[in-house]
Amino acid sequence: MAAVLFDFSGTLFRVESADAWLRAALAGAGLALPGPELAETARALEAAGALPGGANPLRVPEELAEVWETRDQSPELHRAAYTGLSRQVPLPGPGLHDALYDRHMAPVAWRPYPDAAEVLGALRGHGIAVGVVSNIGWDLRPVFRAHGLDRYVDTYVLSYEHGIRKPDPRLFATACAALGAEPGRTLMVGDDRRADGGAAALGCAVHFVDHLPVTERPAGLRPVLDLVR
Protein backbone atom coordinates (compact mmCIF):
# COMPACT_ATOMS: atom_id res chain seq x y z
CA MET A 1 0.00 0.00 0.00
CA ALA A 2 1.14 3.51 -0.81
CA ALA A 3 -1.49 5.36 1.24
CA VAL A 4 -4.04 4.91 3.99
CA LEU A 5 -7.20 6.99 4.33
CA PHE A 6 -8.90 7.23 7.71
CA ASP A 7 -12.34 8.29 8.81
CA PHE A 8 -12.43 10.66 11.80
CA SER A 9 -15.23 10.00 14.29
CA GLY A 10 -15.37 6.45 15.56
CA THR A 11 -12.14 5.56 13.76
CA LEU A 12 -9.28 7.78 14.94
CA PHE A 13 -11.21 9.79 17.56
CA ARG A 14 -14.29 9.36 19.73
CA VAL A 15 -16.46 12.23 20.99
CA GLU A 16 -17.13 12.55 24.71
CA SER A 17 -20.23 11.00 26.28
CA ALA A 18 -23.57 12.79 26.11
CA ASP A 19 -23.41 13.27 29.87
CA ALA A 20 -19.98 14.97 29.75
CA TRP A 21 -21.06 17.02 26.72
CA LEU A 22 -24.14 18.34 28.49
CA ARG A 23 -22.24 19.02 31.74
CA ALA A 24 -19.63 21.07 29.86
CA ALA A 25 -22.22 23.16 28.01
CA LEU A 26 -24.15 23.82 31.22
CA ALA A 27 -20.99 24.83 33.07
CA GLY A 28 -20.01 27.19 30.27
CA ALA A 29 -23.40 28.89 30.58
CA GLY A 30 -23.20 29.07 34.37
CA LEU A 31 -26.10 26.63 34.72
CA ALA A 32 -26.60 23.32 36.46
CA LEU A 33 -29.15 20.53 36.67
CA PRO A 34 -29.75 18.12 39.55
CA GLY A 35 -28.05 14.78 39.00
CA PRO A 36 -31.11 12.71 38.01
CA GLU A 37 -32.42 15.46 35.72
CA LEU A 38 -29.03 15.86 34.08
CA ALA A 39 -28.78 12.13 33.44
CA GLU A 40 -32.29 11.99 32.00
CA THR A 41 -31.65 15.03 29.76
CA ALA A 42 -28.39 13.52 28.51
CA ARG A 43 -30.22 10.29 27.64
CA ALA A 44 -32.91 12.23 25.81
CA LEU A 45 -30.33 14.18 23.81
CA GLU A 46 -28.55 10.95 22.91
CA ALA A 47 -31.80 9.32 21.79
CA ALA A 48 -32.54 12.41 19.69
CA GLY A 49 -29.15 11.99 17.97
CA ALA A 50 -28.21 15.55 18.93
CA LEU A 51 -24.54 14.81 19.70
CA PRO A 52 -22.49 14.82 16.46
CA GLY A 53 -20.24 11.79 16.52
CA GLY A 54 -22.59 10.04 18.91
CA ALA A 55 -25.53 7.77 18.22
CA ASN A 56 -27.75 8.40 15.22
CA PRO A 57 -31.27 9.65 15.97
CA LEU A 58 -33.84 7.02 16.82
CA ARG A 59 -36.22 9.08 14.69
CA VAL A 60 -35.60 12.14 12.53
CA PRO A 61 -38.52 14.59 12.76
CA GLU A 62 -40.22 15.12 9.42
CA GLU A 63 -39.36 18.83 9.39
CA LEU A 64 -35.65 17.96 9.70
CA ALA A 65 -35.54 15.09 7.22
CA GLU A 66 -34.12 17.09 4.31
CA VAL A 67 -31.50 18.98 6.30
CA TRP A 68 -30.47 15.74 8.01
CA GLU A 69 -29.76 14.05 4.68
CA THR A 70 -27.59 16.98 3.49
CA ARG A 71 -26.06 17.97 6.83
CA ASP A 72 -22.47 17.21 5.89
CA GLN A 73 -22.45 19.44 2.83
CA SER A 74 -22.05 22.79 4.61
CA PRO A 75 -21.43 24.24 8.09
CA GLU A 76 -24.86 25.87 8.04
CA LEU A 77 -26.68 22.62 7.26
CA HIS A 78 -24.66 20.72 9.85
CA ARG A 79 -25.48 23.20 12.62
CA ALA A 80 -29.13 23.37 11.59
CA ALA A 81 -29.48 19.57 11.64
CA TYR A 82 -27.94 19.01 15.06
CA THR A 83 -29.38 22.04 16.84
CA GLY A 84 -32.73 21.06 15.33
CA LEU A 85 -32.41 17.64 16.93
CA SER A 86 -31.32 19.06 20.28
CA ARG A 87 -34.34 21.36 20.28
CA GLN A 88 -36.52 18.27 20.55
CA VAL A 89 -35.30 18.14 24.16
CA PRO A 90 -36.21 20.90 26.68
CA LEU A 91 -33.14 22.62 28.14
CA PRO A 92 -32.89 25.22 30.92
CA GLY A 93 -31.77 28.02 28.60
CA PRO A 94 -32.51 28.85 24.93
CA GLY A 95 -28.84 29.43 24.13
CA LEU A 96 -27.86 25.96 25.26
CA HIS A 97 -28.71 24.34 21.93
CA ASP A 98 -26.04 26.38 20.17
CA ALA A 99 -23.70 25.99 23.16
CA LEU A 100 -23.98 22.22 22.86
CA TYR A 101 -23.20 22.37 19.16
CA ASP A 102 -20.19 24.64 19.78
CA ARG A 103 -18.93 22.35 22.52
CA HIS A 104 -18.74 19.32 20.25
CA MET A 105 -16.28 21.15 17.97
CA ALA A 106 -13.86 21.85 20.84
CA PRO A 107 -10.73 19.66 20.74
CA VAL A 108 -11.24 18.82 24.41
CA ALA A 109 -14.52 17.11 23.49
CA TRP A 110 -12.62 14.46 21.51
CA ARG A 111 -10.22 11.70 22.55
CA PRO A 112 -7.98 9.79 20.16
CA TYR A 113 -8.16 6.03 20.36
CA PRO A 114 -5.26 4.66 22.42
CA ASP A 115 -3.37 3.25 19.44
CA ALA A 116 -4.02 6.12 17.01
CA ALA A 117 -0.68 7.87 17.52
CA GLU A 118 1.21 4.57 17.41
CA VAL A 119 -0.37 3.47 14.13
CA LEU A 120 -0.14 6.85 12.43
CA GLY A 121 3.48 7.21 13.52
CA ALA A 122 4.33 3.75 12.21
CA LEU A 123 2.76 4.53 8.84
CA ARG A 124 4.79 7.72 8.63
CA GLY A 125 7.92 5.77 9.52
CA HIS A 126 7.25 3.38 6.64
CA GLY A 127 6.77 6.22 4.16
CA ILE A 128 3.04 5.58 3.72
CA ALA A 129 0.95 8.66 3.02
CA VAL A 130 -2.01 9.36 5.31
CA GLY A 131 -5.26 11.16 4.58
CA VAL A 132 -8.38 11.86 6.62
CA VAL A 133 -11.69 11.61 4.74
CA SER A 134 -14.68 12.69 6.79
CA ASN A 135 -18.36 13.48 6.41
CA ILE A 136 -18.45 16.57 8.58
CA GLY A 137 -19.68 20.15 8.66
CA TRP A 138 -16.76 21.85 10.43
CA ASP A 139 -12.96 22.00 10.38
CA LEU A 140 -11.57 19.11 12.38
CA ARG A 141 -7.91 20.07 11.86
CA PRO A 142 -7.69 21.83 15.26
CA VAL A 143 -8.67 18.56 16.95
CA PHE A 144 -5.72 16.78 15.33
CA ARG A 145 -3.37 19.64 16.19
CA ALA A 146 -4.47 19.78 19.82
CA HIS A 147 -3.86 16.06 20.27
CA GLY A 148 -0.53 16.04 18.42
CA LEU A 149 -1.72 13.93 15.47
CA ASP A 150 -1.72 16.58 12.75
CA ARG A 151 1.97 15.92 12.04
CA TYR A 152 1.07 12.47 10.73
CA VAL A 153 -1.66 13.60 8.30
CA ASP A 154 -0.74 14.61 4.75
CA THR A 155 -4.19 15.72 3.59
CA TYR A 156 -7.71 16.31 4.90
CA VAL A 157 -10.68 15.78 2.57
CA LEU A 158 -13.82 17.01 4.33
CA SER A 159 -17.29 16.72 2.87
CA TYR A 160 -18.34 20.30 3.63
CA GLU A 161 -15.32 21.67 1.77
CA HIS A 162 -16.24 19.76 -1.38
CA GLY A 163 -20.04 19.67 -1.21
CA ILE A 164 -20.09 15.87 -1.54
CA ARG A 165 -20.13 13.16 1.07
CA LYS A 166 -19.17 9.54 1.47
CA PRO A 167 -19.96 7.04 -0.02
CA ASP A 168 -19.56 9.19 -3.16
CA PRO A 169 -16.35 7.83 -4.78
CA ARG A 170 -15.36 11.36 -5.78
CA LEU A 171 -14.43 12.20 -2.19
CA PHE A 172 -12.03 9.24 -2.00
CA ALA A 173 -10.67 10.08 -5.47
CA THR A 174 -9.92 13.61 -4.27
CA ALA A 175 -7.95 12.20 -1.34
CA CYS A 176 -6.00 9.76 -3.52
CA ALA A 177 -5.14 12.56 -5.96
CA ALA A 178 -3.95 14.80 -3.13
CA LEU A 179 -1.66 12.02 -1.90
CA GLY A 180 -0.50 11.03 -5.39
CA ALA A 181 -1.65 7.48 -4.70
CA GLU A 182 -3.39 5.04 -7.00
CA PRO A 183 -6.69 3.78 -5.54
CA GLY A 184 -5.54 0.19 -6.01
CA ARG A 185 -2.65 0.89 -3.64
CA THR A 186 -4.77 2.74 -1.08
CA LEU A 187 -6.51 1.42 2.02
CA MET A 188 -9.61 3.11 3.50
CA VAL A 189 -10.17 2.60 7.24
CA GLY A 190 -13.51 3.49 8.79
CA ASP A 191 -16.36 2.43 11.04
CA ASP A 192 -19.32 2.95 8.67
CA ARG A 193 -19.81 0.12 6.19
CA ARG A 194 -21.98 2.18 3.87
CA ALA A 195 -20.15 5.52 3.93
CA ASP A 196 -16.56 4.27 4.19
CA GLY A 197 -17.29 1.23 2.07
CA GLY A 198 -17.85 3.59 -0.85
CA ALA A 199 -14.08 3.61 -1.37
CA ALA A 200 -14.32 0.08 -2.78
CA ALA A 201 -16.13 1.43 -5.84
CA LEU A 202 -12.98 3.40 -6.64
CA GLY A 203 -10.79 0.33 -6.27
CA CYS A 204 -9.49 0.97 -2.76
CA ALA A 205 -9.14 -1.78 -0.21
CA VAL A 206 -11.39 -1.21 2.81
CA HIS A 207 -10.97 -2.16 6.47
CA PHE A 208 -13.59 -1.57 9.16
CA VAL A 209 -13.17 -0.89 12.87
CA ASP A 210 -15.80 -0.89 15.59
CA HIS A 211 -17.22 2.46 16.75
CA LEU A 212 -16.69 1.92 20.49
CA PRO A 213 -15.71 4.06 23.47
CA VAL A 214 -11.95 4.56 23.64
CA THR A 215 -11.67 2.42 26.78
CA GLU A 216 -13.26 -0.51 24.95
CA ARG A 217 -11.07 -0.41 21.85
CA PRO A 218 -7.42 -0.15 22.92
CA ALA A 219 -5.89 -1.76 19.82
CA GLY A 220 -8.52 -1.67 17.07
CA LEU A 221 -6.29 0.20 14.62
CA ARG A 222 -3.22 -2.03 14.89
CA PRO A 223 -4.38 -4.53 12.21
CA VAL A 224 -3.92 -1.70 9.71
CA LEU A 225 -0.15 -2.11 10.03
CA ASP A 226 -0.41 -5.74 8.91
CA LEU A 227 -2.68 -4.82 6.00
CA VAL A 228 -0.22 -2.33 4.50
CA ARG A 229 2.79 -4.63 4.54
- 155-158/129-134 β-pairing: parallel
Alpha helices by DSSP H, the chain: 18-28, 35-48, 65-69, 75-86, 96-104, 116-125, 141-146, 159-162, 169-179, 223-227
Domains and CATH numbers, the chain: 3-14+110-227 (3.40.50.1000), 16-109 (no CATH)
**Count, residues in the chain:** 229
| pLDDT for the residue numbered 229 | 85
For 176-220, what is each residue's pLDDT tens digit? 999 999 999 999 999 999 999 999 999 999 999 999 999 999 999
Mean pLDDT, rounded, of the chain: 97
Q: Are 15 and 53 in contact (CB under 8 A)?
A: yes
- Tell me the whole-structure pTM to 2 decimals: 0.96
| pLDDT for the residue numbered 48 | 97
**What is d(CA 35, CA 184) in angstroms, rounded to the nearest whole number?**
52
Q: Show the low-confidence residues of the chain (pLDDT under 70).
A: none
**What is d(CA 191, CA 157) in angstroms, rounded to the nearest whole number?**
17
Report the SS3 class of residue 208: strand
For 47-60, what is each residue's pLDDT tens digit? 999 999 999 999 99
| pLDDT for the residue numbered 224 | 98
